[in-house]
Structure 1
């Protein structure tokens, strides 16, 4: 059955499996780094805004502009622009390890802005009450902001992870490996449409599983 519908995929099966693992590798590690940077940046944006718990308008203005700037750069252009920096960090601009640098830089500002919006959903009166009871900024961050907004943070993480999967395919199209690479270099270049379709199918399955598991986790956390 597989050989009938996907004859060219069967011919390159080990390479196709390797490409799938490369996509998972790029998505997982860039997501881990982007989550750390994104949550940190989102928290700083909320804390240092003019009416924040650690208000610092100049720092907020600077950080806000950096996030906006990075979000505005199309990913395909970002890949080329930061190529020298990527080579400096990992020693090459080709391969899955090299893809992590632009993937993180490309996705974490998007995630940081979603974290900021999630944290801003907390009523100011709740923060004021916590301050009145003597809670420190760190206690407010962990006990109120991150704890109360956890379902929204999970949903934002799901959206970000799905967007990240799309970016990995774009990175793969210029030699970073993964399903995007195999879909373009083999499926598209050699007119082997079954390879392209199979790569698309695997990516759609990843997106579906991410969405379902993320929604279930968010609902479970919301009921706690």
Structure 2
């Protein structure tokens, strides 16, 4: 019954259903790998920005200004242009600039600066009084980061991660324009180049479902932290 419905309303997609399902797996693979790496890097750089800024617990204007400028520059470059600019470096790092493997590196470079800012903003929302109390109790800088900044910022970090994850799904679709694989590549190859409208629509629906699942997961995590 389901096969008949698909053939009726999605005739072109039904002919390449295996390619479509593979594109979904490729998108999830890019999201999982690039997302995990970007989460760790973004968390690290966000913390560095926070503690090294003027007035921070490890104030270092040189490190702060350098990292701040690098992040601003990377965030100002349109992602589609960044992909092209990173091709030589991508080939050097992962051995190829096409396919799912070639898409992961530019995705990490593209989303990490955004997530770093999100983390910096999330940590900056911590009550300064709590930081001062931690200092008064003799906490080290590392202790303040772990037990004050990160612990008190869990809800904000979850929200930042959810927002960044949604943005990452969008970027993973963009890499399809340059043969990066995934749902975006499927939409370009079959929906745009072959003028198969049903392929375009089913790609949009698949992306909407993935984004909705991410947002639902983010809300559930917030509820489980009892901060929502």
TM-score tier (shorter): over 0.9
Which residue of structure 1 lines up, in the alignment, with residue 159 of structure 2?
Answer: 155
Which residue of structure 1 lines up, in the alignment, with residue 13 of structure 2?
Answer: 9
Which residue of structure 2 lines up, in the alignment, with residue 193 of structure 1?
Answer: 197
Runs of 4+ in 1 over 2 A off after TM superposition: none
Q: Secondary structure at the match of 1:176?
A: coil
C-alpha root-mean-square deviation of aligned residues, in Å? Answer: 1.0
Number of matched pairs:
224
2:217 to 213, 218, 224: 213
1:117-161 CA-to-partner distances (Å, cap 9, x unmatched) read 000001222111101110011111111111110111011000000
Q: For the residues of structure 2 that align with 1:82 and 1:176, how far apart are their CA atoms? A: 13
Q: For the residues of structure 2 that align with 1:151 and 1:125, how far apart are their CA atoms? A: 19
Which residue of structure 1 lines up, in the alignment, with residue 148 of structure 2?
Answer: 144
Say whether the 8 Å CA contact 1:151–1:219 is kept in structure 2: no
TM-score, normalising length: structure 1: 0.98
Which residue of structure 2 lines up, in the alignment, with residue 113 of structure 1?
Answer: 117
Q: Secondary structure at the match of 2:125?
A: coil
Q: Does 1:125 align with 2:129?
A: yes
Say whether the 8 Å CA contact 2:155–2:227 is kept in structure 1: no
Q: For the residues of structure 1 that align with 2:61 and 2:226, how far apart are their CA atoms? A: 33
1:47-97 CA-to-partner distances (Å, cap 9, x unmatched) read 001111101011111111111111111000000111100000111110101
- Where structure 1 has 5 or more consecutive residues not aligned to the other structure, the ranges are none
TM-score, normalising length: structure 2: 0.96
1:165 to 165, 169, 174: 169
Say whether the 8 Å CA contact 1:152–1:218 is kept in structure 2: no
Q: For the residues of structure 2 that align with 1:65 and 1:218, how far apart are their CA atoms? A: 32
- Where structure 2 has 5 or more consecutive residues not aligned to the other structure, the ranges are none
Q: Does 1:94 align with 2:95?
A: no
Q: Secondary structure at the match of 2:225?
A: helix
